Amino acid sequence: MATLDERRTEEGFRRLIAFTDAVVAIALTLLVLPLADFAGEIERGSDLGTVFADHDVELISFVISFIVIWVLWRQHHRSMEYFKSYDSGLMNLTFLWLFTIVVLPFATALLDGKDIDWANDLYIGVLLLSVIALTALERWGVSHPDLLDDVDDPGTRKWMTSRGRYATMILLAVALIIAIVVPPSGSWPLLMLVLTGPMEWLLTRGQTDDGELEPQD
């Protein structure tokens, strides 16, 4: 009987991607459930400003987490564009990444004004683990070029050698340390992610368009 690594069909790869997209869609849907709970408490005649003022934490947490999951899925989508097949390693890393996605709605719910000391640590930690899983997934493809679509393509070579993917991981690690050491900082350490662009530029400086390192003088 053929094992997973012996038999890898295009249909199997498509099913893996479809399953991943479905789980992400469900996670996005779960984010809105807390909003549906307080929607039933809104009295007739209540103005929009009052509703936002009374539930600002829930609404802000929803928007932030929705954007976070969207960004994580977009990065996963972009990475998978370079793959043409899969193996057990890629599948396991995908499931690890999906675990972080389905945990995010839970971590988000803990932020909703419950004053739980470790809520921010958990939230940032889940984001960090998600980015680590994505990075590991990409590195798995780099170390297993037979899974990639076209390793001779300049764009693929640049993706394989890019170091910019580590910028978000580094910034989230620093944010998590700050959140643990300085609990009153709350979710503010996440603002460090605005530095992702400059840090990616620093990490990729010296690379040519095809992903090779430029010779130093």
Question: How high is the pLDDT of residue 41?
Answer: 62
- Amino acid identity, position 113: G
Nearest to 132 by CA among 93, 83, 102, 163: 93
Per residue in 132-161, pLDDT (tens digit) is 999 999 999 999 999 998 888 888 888 888
Label residue 17 by pLDDT band (50, 70, 90): very high
182: CB partners within 8 A, 6+ apart: none
* Chain segment 164-179, per-residue pLDDT in tens: 678 888 989 999 999 8
Pick the residue with more confidence: 54 or 93?
93
Whole-model pTM? 0.82
Across 69-96, b (16+ Cβ under 10 Å) vs e yields: beebbebbeebbebbebbeebbbebbeb
* pLDDT for position 1: 42
List Cα–Cα distances, 106 to 32, 120, 189, in angstroms: 12, 12, 20
Q: In this predicted model, which residue has the larger pLDDT, 194 or 66? A: 66
- pLDDT band at 37; cut points 50, 70, 90: low
Confidence of residue 187 (pLDDT cuts 50, 70, 90): confident
Nearest to 174 by CA among 156, 146, 193, 160: 193
Q: Residues 136-143: contacts with CB within 8 Å, 24+ apart?
A: 136/93, 136/96, 137/76, 137/79, 137/90, 137/93, 137/94, 137/97, 138/79, 138/165, 140/89, 140/90, 140/93, 141/79, 141/82, 141/83, 141/90
pLDDT of residue 83: 94
Please compute the mean of the pLDDT values over residues 101-129 and round it to a whole number.
85
Top pLDDT among 165 and 9 is at: 9
- Best CA proximity match to 4, nearest among 83, 97, 92: 92
**Taking 70 as the threshold, does the pLDDT of residue 209 lie above it?**
no
Whole-number Å distance between alpha carbons of 124 and 140: 24
Q: What is the pLDDT of residue 22?
A: 96
Mean residue pLDDT across the chain: 82
Least reliable range by pLDDT among 34-38, 65-69, 82-86, 201-205: 34-38
Which sequence spans correspond to the domains of the chain? 10-38+53-165
Cβ-proximal residues to 19 (8 Å cutoff; 6+ apart), any chain = none
Task: Specify the DSSP class assigned to residue 42.
Answer: P
Report pLDDT for 176.
Answer: 92
Kindly state the average pLDDT of the residues 108-137.
Answer: 86
